[in-house]
Amino acid sequence: MKKSFLKILFLSLSILVLAGCSSDNDSTDEVIVDPPTQDDPLTTSNVTNYMVDPNATKETQALFYNLKKLAKTKTAIGQQDAFNSFYQDAGGDSDIKKNTGFDPAVLGSDFMFITDKTNNEQSNNWFYQQEQKIIADTKAAYAKGIINTFSWHLREPNKEESFYATDITAEQKSTAFRSILPGGANNEWYKKKLDKVAKVISNLKGSNGELIPVIFRPFHEFDGSWFWWGADFCTPDEYKKAYQFTVDYLKNTKGVHNILYAFSPDNSYTTEVNYLSRYPGDKYVDIIGMDNYGDFNNQGQTGSDKANSKLKILSDYAKSKVKIAALTETGYRVTNTTPAITDWFSTLLYSALTKNDIQISYVMFWNNTVDGYYVPNGTVSNTSDFKTFSLKTKSALVNSLPKMYEMPK
């Protein structure tokens, strides 16, 4: 469902525009921690022992700590592009705020337009204007205490026109991902894209000049093959190397220290072994994630229970390795021809997030559009269902968050 929706979004935005892998040379001071023997050994003083970046800024350390602790009692609720994508183009407050009176606890953004080949960083360039809007939204979210997370629908390296595998040739599918690895024909191209990502993240600053922490989720949904980095187009080792190179380059080469790194396949796995088949390693991942639309697509409680069992795999691993578990994308898109599912939020999703003593730090819905929505805005049939969900004991909008960027005293 998300695949076709994203393609529609990409094509419509294109029309709008026309109209208007691995380095192992980690820093020597990194601490690789043995699996803890107690439930949660994390403290405010040892937090960097469990993070990808031992040199992370104090606000980034606090975000890691607070996300980990939050999951014991709450799951933060978020939405992609919440400040700019509204059902029926309603504008104004986020649709979540229109419904509940409060903004989301998590804001999702994307580096897609920021790294687009036609972004020339000139004020009259549409892609640069989107970049500036995303930066402004990220800063506004941080000022409100909201958590920022970025995905990256990176265009393939040949013509840079699409991130979908169906839009490139068979030969390109077989070579595109491998070409961005060290020594590959497009490694320098990829490094330039990462340079842009690093430039943007390194210039995200709060009102006191402090760097704003972000969660970065590269090469997501890799177990499917709708994206050019999907499982059909690279080996597990090649995927790991690309992910490791990405982290090493941003952290060590570019010196970016305000990132938490998220790993998020789609929902194809049913065992921990399967989930970890392309896992780049604990020293490269802060957040153990999953995108899951399929289990919630009209499968009722059976689908909810399937999703819960997969989230339990994440939660158990995150507990054992002192990582953060998250449902990094989900949703059920309602349109004029696809009606809402009764109690989808308050019963089906909530039970998936809370049953079996799991600890999930946040859940993020995909963005609303003119003709469809993942989160009801207060004027539609399932408005009360979402509001009920948001008020449940383990749900958190921004008003229920602790100070995520400060260590507790």
Q: If you ran DSSP here, which 8-state letter would residue 347 be given?
A: I
- The dihedrals phi and psi of 31, each to the nearest 5 degrees, come to -110, 120
Q: Are 265 and 223 in contact (CB under 8 A)?
A: yes
Distance CA 389, CA 377 (A): 14
- What value, to the nearest 5°, has the Cα angle with vertex 303 and ends 301 and 305? 70
Q: What Rg value do the Cα atoms of the chain yield, rounded? A: 20
Q: Over the stretch 304-359, which tens digit does the pLDDT of each residue have? A: 999 999 999 999 999 999 999 999 999 999 999 999 999 999 999 999 999 999 99
Mean pLDDT for the stretch of residues 32-50: 75
Q: What is the largest CA-CA distance in the chain?
A: 59
Query: Is 298's pLDDT higher than 70?
Result: yes
Residue 38: per-residue pLDDT: 52
Of the pLDDT bands very low, low, confident and very high (cuts 50, 70, 90), residue 40 is confident
What domains lie within the chain, and their CATH numbers? Answer: 58-400 (3.20.20.80)
Per residue in 207-251, pLDDT tens? 999 999 999 999 999 999 999 999 999 999 999 999 999 999 999
pTM of the predicted model over 0.75: yes
Other residues' Cβ atoms within 10 Å of the Cβ of residue 215: 27
Distance separating alpha carbons of residues 100 and 146, to the nearest angstrom: 16
Token pair recorded at residue 242 = 């690309």
Contact predicate 84/140, CB 8 Å: no
pLDDT at residue 24 greater than cutoff 90: no
pLDDT of residue 8: 46
User: For position 39, what pLDDT does the model report?
Assistant: 67
Question: In angstroms, rounded to a whole number, what is the distance separating the alpha carbons of residues 252 and 407?
Answer: 25
How much is the mean pLDDT over the chain?
92
Looking at residue 266, its pLDDT comes to 98
Which residues are identified as catalytic? 221, 329
d(CA 86, CA 372): 9
Which spans in 208-367 are helix H? 236-248, 272-275, 300-321, 350-354
| CA atoms of 405 and 392, how far apart (whole Å) | 24
| Model confidence pLDDT, tens digit, residues 197-209 | 999 999 999 999 9
Q: In this structure, are residues 31 and 54 in contact, taking their beta carbons and an 8 Å threshold? A: yes
Query: Considering only 38-47, 286-295, 383-392, 397-406, which range has the smallest mean pLDDT?
Result: 38-47
